[in-house]
Structure 1
Amino acid sequence: MLHNVGWKKKIEQILAYIPIMNPHAKVVQQWNQFFVISCLIAIFIDPLFFFLLSVQQDHKCIVLNWSFATALAVVRSVTDAIYFLHMLLQFRLAYVAPESRVVGAGDLVDEPRKVAVHYLRGYFLLDFFVVLPLPQVMILLVIPKYVGLSGANYAKNLLRATVLLQYVPRIIRFVPLLDGQSANGFIFESAWANFVINLLMFVLAGHVVGSCWYLFGLQRVNQCLRDACSSSTIPYCDTFIDCGGGSGSVLFRQQWFNDSDAAACFNTGNDAPFQYGIYQQAVLLTTEDSAVKRYIYSLFWGFQQISTLAGNLVPSYFVWEVLFTMAIIGLGLLLFALLIGNMQNFLQALGRRRLEMQLRRRDVEKWMSHRRLPVDLRRRVRRAERFTWAATQGVNEEELLSNLPEDIQRDIRRHFFRFLNKVRLFTLMDWPILDAICDKLRQNLYISGSDILYQGGPVDKMVFIVRGKLESISADGSKAPLHDGDVCGEELLTWYLEHSSVNRDSGKIKFNGMRLVAIRTVTCSTNVEAFVLRASDLEEVTSQFARFLRNPRVQGAIRYESPYWRTIAATRIQVAWRYRKRRLKRAEKSKLNEESYSSYSIMPHDSYRRGQRG
């Protein structure tokens, strides 16, 4: 009793060094991915034990490949060790209490005792049975010691019993993991990884069916040899079926080698005394020395029968053979319903956007035909649709962002709108103002030839150019180029600041019915990608940060960096210069007139004085 208590304390002390782990931690996710790959290898290994056995046609006996058996036992031990580590991890892995899932994601239970009890009451017994090294014990201990190295027939029966006994619980435990999901969520988040897993599960099904077909074919050869032995008069012939075995003399063994009934067991024709049914090809396959050749052909046979739902198989009247054929048909239907269906959904998902684009184009064409749009307008609509789809790939970014937490939305918008740093105005702003502006920005696309603003029309938005070239044409015909990083419609910001005031209650007074009219035309020279700030959103931003935006430094940046204000300034300078030149010209002309008048008025006065003197 004291000894058991001491072991308990030692185990508790060892586990105390390992903290309770969050099932959503990155390390746990990586371990789950590695564990799934290990499980896939493990369930691939078990059917390979069937290929340890082969038939020597000359000696009419069954032989076991011990070197291959030892290698498989070592690999199986490695996968069992990984599975045992996974079992230990379950004792230190927190879980979500089922009763707390009523609201939200549920509460995480991280108390060591509750975690251990939860696993012990769950899959512990099944995992313990799965991890038992039964095939290794049979190959390395039981068969050499109790059966002997030459007891291939008995070894076949023991291996078949132990592998099949453990394989069904392994499939039950592993297949949900191979489906890409665990109790903690998705194991593989990539769609391609899930596609590969589904493909490997189809390969696994062919692998299992082909391996069982080989084993059952070997079993039928064994049954034929036993029937030949029972019908012959050769003493101890049943022991000769195991290569290396047999207690009879060399004469009896030679008689068995030359027995016609035993030799007829390898005759697979229609006139053969022993009907193999679906195992006809497996009979001669069991006589091949190369294990690789035997496995490859069995795998091919499994693929072929699953894909065709055993359509080309004609079983004999042997009951177990008929049941095996029915199982192949059922498995094929199940795979087509589940795995092939999942793969088809994945492949369709890859082309889903293209299909949506085609449906969208068809609807647009029907609508344009129904509304009888002119040819030129239809051409522009098609160009706009193509450009919009190429830029967004059919993804509604606003809907995607709306489902994310606010801090992630803010960081994503900051990432999107890094180009705002190119505008000098925004370099003067703090993050709160930038976040307020970025939250209102919406993506917009314009095709070549589109007018963003036109002379005499309302200025109802500010456009921040991300990519493309535009041209601003003033009323007097002067042109100014716009490109990446420039702003169009920036006069709207100044207009809102100038045409609003604040009352005594610090509330903004709006002047209803007033709006800004464009005095220029802005045309897209190429396809343009831009972000738009609508007038209503801009009004909200200006009301919230009016004090900052009225700062002379900010106003100076707006006017200095804006091509619009530069054009206005240049125009006003030119007008002022022309007025000044006219003024100077007038002043100069008036001065000349005054001088000429004064000289004209002096000449008569002088002549009169000279007349009086005379």
Structure 2
Amino acid sequence: MKQFLPKWNEIFALVCVFAVFLDPLFVYVPIINHKDRCLTMDNTLGTTAIVLRLFTDLTYVANILFNVAKASEVLKEEGKWKRDQILRNALEIFKDSWLFLLVDFLAILPIPQTIVLSFIPKVKGQKFLDERKFLNFLLLSQYVPRVFRIYLSSKEVTSTRDKLITKTQWIIGLNVFIYFLAGHTYMQMVTQRSEEIKRKMKLKEKEIEKWIYDNDLPKKIQTDMMLIVKNRLEEDKDVDVQNLLSLLPPEKRKYILRLLCFSIVNKVEIFKDKDKKVLNVICDYLKPVLFAENTYIIREGDPLDQMLFIKQGTVWVYTASASSHGGRSTMTDTATKRLGKEDEEELVKSLGKGDYYGEELVKWSLTHKSFPMSTENVKSHTKVEAFALRANDLMKAIFSFWWLFRPNLPGQDCISLEEIWRRLAIAAVRKFRQRLIAQGNKSMKSLRVEDAGGKSNRERTVN
């Protein structure tokens, strides 16, 4: 046995290294079949990995038996071996070789085989990623006894006389292994992250498809949307499909806003005969809003400070007399049944997809008389997606094209040509002034940067 010891130590050390490089194969056995969109197993890779792992495990078992035999030889040489006391001999062997036996036992635990063959095939949906993470964790944890076993084997090899591998070579080998392990861990993290993004993308894709369908948008927009969602997910940021417009670049956001709202804005009586540019500018000022079910949007008696253009959901518009009819505080189904059909239509008005509310605000923006107050309650009956046009933004849009709204101004039919040119000149001067202020701000910033750079250069020269 003493003659065979050096050779066995070298063989076992090489098998230990091979076993460590073998374990990562189990991570790639579960694969996703993109055609059928389901989890499957790579049978060829799985069979290869299991057979090779069986070979390394049998080598570990042989090493355990070899260590037991070696320890018993030592006991016999020292005269501690008792033929009739098996339990005592076993305890002595364990005391002498417990570290080797424990490390070898932990190294041959069939953790990856059990998970890959028993647990992962039964897992569905989101739990697959959790099982994949758990498998990675167990493989990394099993690396500890395996790497430690390589260290112990290298010590045994370098302690023998006829060593073929020097201590320096073993150190180099361990460094290479650590480098490989770090690379493998990083690749696992990248792969896992990529799979998680794909899973989220698949979920978001369905939501975006529904959003595009519900809003009657062209199918080609979905590609741009998905690219933006992917970039957001790669930055580890969540994506709210209901607020996709906020993620878009300004030009793309304007384009989609116009597609979404142009037809509804064009329904407003005062906007019907206006130029397309006017409607586009109004669409640019719209802000997406979301209202939960049974939420007051505008209460009776409150200032009417916005127009609403409804894209999804149902909105009820009713007066205080409707809400108190039948002795109730709100318009319930019971109260509705007590009313006749004609009375109900007079008391409660229902607005849905493609409708708008708040035309009085347009009339106010033209006359600038007292601010309109709501004479009705506006309440969401279901979840409502809409676009809001604030009073201030409406005034900006109308002021930009005020001459086009001249026919809509009460008592302004006989306005002189001179007055038209005067107002055009005021609008042009204001735009020119805004442009100058913007350019001045940019110039000031560049001067500050140059001044800071010159100051730092002067300080370096003085030093």
Quickly name the TM-score band, shorter chain normalised. 0.3 to 0.5
Report the TM-score when normalising by structure 1: 0.30
Provide TM-score, normalisation by structure 2: 0.38
Q: Which of the two has higher C-alpha Rg?
A: 1
